[in-house]
Structure 1
C-alpha cells in the first residue's frame, strides 16, 4: 500500500504542533504500518513490553486498522537508536513509537520523522521536546510513595543502600530524583552507598553482595522493579538477616513475597509499572492517525500524558495477587493496559 505524506511550505506553529501529534488524519487511511524503536532489551520487563504490544497489535489488525509492525531494539546506545529510527522512517511507517535512550539526543531524528509525515509518540520515558507527544508513567508518582513507605517502615532512621536501575535511562533519572527528594526529609536515614542493578535480578544480586561485604550494618535497601528478589538472595547467601526492602510486582518476587510472609511475616510494598502500558501509546497513536483530537485537559504542558500506577500491592492484598498470577512465568510482571473505552475517554 502506498502511503501519502503531507507536505507544507508554511504553517503557523499551532498547526505544526497539531500535525506533529497527528491531529490530522493520515490521507491514505488504514491499515497503518507501525514502527517501534526500543532501547535496552536485556531485562524481562522490556521483553514482556514487546510481547504485550505484539498481542495488542493483533487486536487492531483484526479491526483492519494496522497491517505491519516493525520492531527494532537498539540496546542502550543512542547512536544505534538514531540509526534504527532512520531505518523505520525509510520503511514508510505511519506511526512511530519510541522508548528513548536519551531525553534530548533523539530530538533531531524525531523531527525528521515528523517532517516525513509520521506521527511520533514517545512512551515510558520523559523527554525534553514539546513538539512530540510523550506518554509515560509519572515516575515521581511511582517512586515517591515507595520511598515514603520505606522511610516510615524504618522509623525514620537507619543505614541504607539504594540499588538503582540503568544509570542513563531517563525514567531511572526521574526515579533517582524522586527518591532523593523523599530521603531529604529524613535526616536520620544515612545512605551508605548507591549502586546500579540495571533492573536485573542477577546484576542486583551481585552489587548487593559487594555492598554486604563492605558494610556490616545495613538496615534497609531501597530499590526499584526487577531487582528485589536478587537483593534478597544476596542476603540469604551471605547469611545476613533480611532488612526492610522495597518490593515489586515481578512474578518471581510475588511468589517469594508470599512464601516469606507466610513463614516469617515479611512485609513490603510493590507498585505496578505495567509493561503493557506501551499499548496506551499504541492506542493513542492510532486514534490520532484517524483524526481524533485529545482533550485539552488530558495534556500536561501541551505534550505530555501522564499514566498513573493502577495497583499497589502490600501485605493486605498479596494473597489475592499471588492467586491471580501464580501460574505466570517468573520473569513476567503483573500487567495491564487501558481498555478501548479508557483510551476513547482521552479524546473529544
Structure 2
C-alpha cells in the first residue's frame, strides 16, 4: 500500500527542563529515573523527546474507550503485534487498560498516571480522548523516563510522537463522494462519533470544508452515535421519526449499518451514504445493488491497526533507533489510507470480507519492514 506523510503544524517541544523551538535538532541529553529506579537515556531528537528505557520493555496501552467493534479490533491488532514482539524477546510483556467511561479524558489521565507509577511499564501508548487534557499526565510520564507514543487520535503533548490518520482528509473524501453523488444539492443527516473526541473534531472540519464549498448541501439534523451500531441505529431512527425527506447520510466507521437498518425499518432508503468497511454493511449493500435500488455508498477503511503501527514505532524507538525526520512532520507520522470503495471496486473488498466475521472492518497496519523505513 502506498503511504505518504501529510503536513501538520510544527510542535514546540518542552519536556522536563528542556525547552526548545520548533524544528531544532537534538544534542542535549539527560538521565531520568524510571519507575523501577533504572536509568533511562533521554535526549531531544527534532520535535520528539527520545527516551530509551533500560531493562526489559513492558508496554502499557490506554485504549481510551472499549466495547465497540472497531475498538475491539484495534485491541486485537495491538495484541497480535505485541505477541509477535514478546515471542521474539523484544518486549517482556504488555498491559492493556480500557476506560470504564468511554471517551473520558480525566479517567484516561489517571490510567496514564497508573502506568507512570507502575515499576514495570516503561513504554506507554495512548489512544487519546482529548488533544490537550492529557498533556500534564504525559509530561509526568516522560519526566519519569517513560517513552510515550500517541496512537489514532493525536494529541498536543510536547515531545510525544503522534501516529495518526489524517481524519480531516479521511472525512473530506467521504463527504465529497456524497456531495458528487447528489449533484451538489441535498438534505443530509449526520450521525457523528463521540462529541469532543479529537478524531471526531477533525472529521467535523472535513464536513465543514466540503459543505462550505457546496451551500446547497444542508445538514438537517446531527447527533452522536458513539461509534456503535446499536446506538447509531437508535439515533438515526429518532431523527427519522420527525424527518422524512433525507437524501444522504453522513456517518463514520462502525455506525453505517445501524443507520441503514433504521432507514429500512422506516420503509425508507437514502440516495447515498457513507458506509462501513465491514461485512454487515457490504452484505446489505450488495443486496441493494442486485435489486437495482436507487442507492449509492462509499466505504473507506479507518484501520483499527493504527495502534499496532504505533506499537511498532514505539518499540523500535525504545530500542534506540532514530526516526527519520524527513518522513515526519514535526512530531507527527500521518498514516494515509490508500483504499476507497464504491460500486466500481466493490468486489475487491467483498472478496476479503467474506472470509471474516460480521463485525470485522477492513484493516491494515505497517509491517516491521515498513516500520523500519521510517528510521535512519
Give the TM-score, by structure 2 length: 0.85
Alignment correspondent of 1:18: 45
Q: 2:113 aligns with which of 76, 86, 95?
A: 86
1:173-322 alignment to 2 at 5 Å? 173-264=201-292, 266-300=295-329, 302-322=330-350
Q: CA RMSD in A?
A: 1.9
Greater CA drift, 18-27 or 261-270: 18-27
More strand by share: 2
Alignment correspondent of 2:368: 340
Distance in 1 of aligned mates of 2:68 and 2:346: 24
Distance in 2 of aligned mates of 1:299 and 1:9: 23
Q: Is the 8 A contact 2:16 2:139 kept in 1?
A: no
Distance in 1 of aligned mates of 2:259 and 2:268: 11
Q: How far did residue 338 of structure 1 move?
A: 0.7
Q: Is the 8 A contact 2:47 2:331 kept in 1?
A: no
Q: How far did residue 208 of structure 1 move?
A: 1.1
Q: Is the 8 A contact 1:156 1:189 kept in 2?
A: yes
User: Unmatched 5+ residue regions in structure 2?
Assistant: 1-14, 21-25, 29-42
User: Unmatched 5+ residue regions in structure 1?
Assistant: 1-7
Q: C-alpha deviations, 1:202-252, integer Å up to 9, x for none?
A: 111111111112122111111111111111111111112332111120221
Alignment correspondent of 2:200: 172
Q: How far did residue 24 of structure 1 move?
A: 5.1
May I ask how many residue pairs the two structures share in their alignment? 338
Alignment pair present for 1:96 and 2:121? no
Alignment pair present for 1:73 and 2:98? yes
Give the TM-score, by structure 1 length: 0.92
Distance in 2 of aligned mates of 1:212 and 1:191: 13
Alignment correspondent of 2:189: 161
Distance in 2 of aligned mates of 1:164 and 1:12: 38
Greater CA drift, 286-295 or 236-245: 236-245
More helix by share: 1
Distance in 2 of aligned mates of 1:129 and 1:252: 37
Q: How far did residue 167 of structure 1 move?
A: 0.8
